Structure 1
Amino acid sequence: MDSTPLTRVGWSRCLVGALTLFLALSPAEACTGIRLKAADGTFVHARTLEFATNLKSDVIVVPRGFARVGTTPDGKPGMKWNAKYASVGANGVGLPYIFDGVNEKGLAAGLFYFPTSAGYNAYASTDAPNTMAPWQLGSWILENFASVDELKSNINKVVVPAVVFEAWGIAPEVHYAVQDASGQSVVIEYVGGKLQWHDNPLGVITNSPTFDWHMTNLRNYLNFSVTNAPPVKLGTVTLAPFGQGSGMLGMPGDFTPPSRFVRAVAFTQSAFPVKTNDEVVLQAFHILNNFDIPQGSTREQGTDSHGNEMTDYTQWTSAKDLKAKRFYFRTFHDSQIRMVDLTKFNLDAKEIATVSMQGEEPISNLSPQK
């Protein structure tokens, strides 16, 4: 798998293209994140990425020392930092920022859509030296911290206001899932102008409403069981379940965030234990098969700026091995699982390396050839 370095000039050109593409973007996005653990101690965090317009994501590898400047609402230079740790993950629309990835210390971070619930920090021009845009926070986390505890001690130093993409017309509404190699997991949200973080003992995340609402909603499903319901005798009649799955009868099956959250908890908590990192990665992809959204099944009211109907669909699914520092992915056009190993790159390179996620899956013909 080839990787291509991009200079800072190259990234600037990509940003222009990204902003142009954002003109056509729909605000719809539905993502599901899960966490699993293997017997060898490997934690894997996996997720789906849904959007209505092709984000044209690629895998990028950000080296140590890479210089960053935060974006502010008034155009002043924001927070400046140099990457302490190298990281690997998927970007979107050519941006030099990771939307979902893992760093060399096994800390993973991902952005998840958070519509109608996100309420970012207030901003004053004097805040500029500590400010960055919502889409930059994930990379800042990956490039500066080795553990969830370390992040908790520093996240209050950052101002994250509603920075608007001028071409997009809105500030992206997101919240963040972060987990480290020890298994600690946290959800970071900006609500009502204030930072909120929630410990995430189950390792599951979707979208709105707020994370604490989803955890409370689980109490509506305490009757679920992985064991099939037993036969019931009514007078002289004995009624038995029709088939498998009766213990989970009533599980919500739609694509809304509350329903996906419930299903993700049910499937991760009922998963059989596996031994190795390879097994747990495959297990994560199997579970996320249940959250794959085909094109056409979820549609926005109206059309985009080009008059096209907007339909959310799963563009890619990823898994991060927090022990081996590997980023696995498959895409809408290629269901073969591919892997990028952070440790195989020059982590002190001068520029970001890019690994393409594009391409279509060939269909193997196993019939006799004449």
Structure 2
Amino acid sequence: MCTSLTLTATDHTTVLARTMDFPNVDPWTPTRLSAGTRWQPFFGEPQTTQFDIIGAARHLNHHHLFGDGLNAAGLSCAELYFPNRTHYYDDVQPKMINLTPQDFILWVLSNHETIADVERDLPNVALVSHIWYAENKIYPFHWILADATGRTAVLEPTELGLHFQSDPVHVLTNTPALPDHLARLSRYLGSDRLTDAAADWLRDQKPLPDGPIPTDRFIRTAINCLGRPTPETGETTITQALDTLKQVVIPRKEVRPGVTNHNFTHYISVLDVTHLTYTHYPIDTEDLTQYFL
């Protein structure tokens, strides 16, 4: 139940930001890997990080499961839940880079400087429907990436062959697929001129969709991103990203004595691919911390 966005300021600072909405499981912890760190994808030989990496990870069975991350080349990636839409291979494919969905982010950040670099490698990648080192579950993911060139791309594995698609509103939530989200946004605004329509919507103070449904979170976040003035600096870009995502936080609530709701927002992160900073904002403590690569 996550929400993500990318923003580019007038000074060309680009950030990728996201909420991490997830069941009550092991905590997501800011984690740094140095260049030269060996790690073991579930399939194949060990790999070595070519860049320093910072992101939020769960530490399971001595392995790192990254939910989002940034490398020292200025490439960032975040995974979001994408149920009922993913198509993975059933088995390992010969002469391919075989990855479980949980391995994808670390593979991207370990080996690539830009989205274009990842794009050249995608024809060689097979996402395999197999459990990872922990948790007896195969996760349906899609991914949003941003890099230091200012490019944003989305990868939705709705077919076995992988390819990036552009995201004109620079927002991603969960199912349905991105084209469906964009069509719903156009219908909601009553226009295909999305930026102008979003600015008019905010100027006229019309109500925005509320609640945890992915389509509503997409529309609310897209209108806020498209309709607000472009931030001028890296600092104001981070602030605007945080302010926008705080509007779609799913609070932790007690549904009955001693039991909280299944899904809630653990944190918001902002990954500045221009200045190589990782801002982590845990919802329970609101103790904002910034890390530098």
TM exceeding 0.5: yes
Map 1:53-64 onto structure 2 (within 5 A).
53-64=24-35
- CA, structure 1 residues 159+275, in 2 after alignment: closer, same or farther (shift >3 Å)? same
C-alpha distance in 2 between matches for 1:122 and 1:132: 12
- CA, structure 1 residues 267+80, in 2 after alignment: closer, same or farther (shift >3 Å)? same
Partner of 2:52: 86
Q: CA deviation at 1:267?
A: 0.4
Conserved 8 A contact 2:35-2:50: yes
Conserved 8 A contact 1:87-1:103: yes
1:117 paired to 2:88 = no
- CA, structure 1 residues 192+338, in 2 after alignment: closer, same or farther (shift >3 Å)? same
1:220 to 158, 177, 187: 187
Partner of 1:248: 206
Partner of 1:24: none
> Percent of counterpart pairs with the same letter?
22
- CA, structure 1 residues 124+107, in 2 after alignment: closer, same or farther (shift >3 Å)? closer
- CA, structure 1 residues 142+199, in 2 after alignment: closer, same or farther (shift >3 Å)? same
Partner of 2:241: 284
1:270 paired to 2:270 = no
Partner of 1:363: none
Conserved 8 A contact 1:58-1:90: yes
Q: CA deviation at 1:246?
A: 4.6
1:314 paired to 2:273 = no
Q: CA deviation at 1:81?
A: 2.5
Q: Secondary structure at the match of 1:313?
A: strand
C-alpha distance in 2 between matches for 1:286 and 1:60: 24
Map 1:336-355 onto structure 2 (within 5 A).
336-342=287-293
C-alpha distance in 1 between matches for 2:88 and 2:130: 9
Q: CA deviation at 1:146?
A: 1.0
Partner of 1:355: none
Q: CA deviation at 1:121?
A: 2.4
Conserved 8 A contact 1:112-1:207: yes
Q: Once structures 1 and 2 are overlaid, which stretch shifts more, 52-61 or 277-286?
A: 52-61
Partner of 1:324: 275
Q: CA deviation at 1:336?
A: 2.9
- CA, structure 1 residues 296+60, in 2 after alignment: closer, same or farther (shift >3 Å)? same
Conserved 8 A contact 2:59-2:65: no
Per-residue CA deviations over 1:287-309 (Å, capped at 9, x if unaligned) read: 11101111239x8xxx9xxx956
- CA, structure 1 residues 144+186, in 2 after alignment: closer, same or farther (shift >3 Å)? same
Structure 1 portions without partners, runs of 5+: 1-29, 73-77, 229-243, 343-370
Quick one: which amino acid aligns to residue 147 of structure 1?
T
Q: CA deviation at 1:254?
A: 2.1
Partner of 1:295: 252
Per-residue CA deviations over 1:49-99 (Å, capped at 9, x if unaligned) read: 011214311111111122233214xxxxx2543212221110024442422
Map 1:117-266 onto structure 2 (within 5 A).
117-124=85-92, 126=94, 130-165=97-132, 168-223=135-190, 224-227=197-200, 246-249=204-207, 251-266=208-223
C-alpha distance in 2 between matches for 1:227 and 1:190: 35
Q: CA deviation at 1:168?
A: 2.6
C-alpha distance in 1 between matches for 2:133 and 2:232: 48
C-alpha distance in 2 between matches for 1:245 and 1:93: 45
CA RMSD of aligned residues (A): 2.4
C-alpha distance in 1 between matches for 2:158 and 2:106: 21
C-alpha distance in 2 between matches for 1:286 and 1:339: 16
Q: Once structures 1 and 2 are overlaid, which stretch shifts more, 115-124 or 178-187?
A: 115-124
Query: TM-score of the superposition, structure 1-length normalised?
Result: 0.71
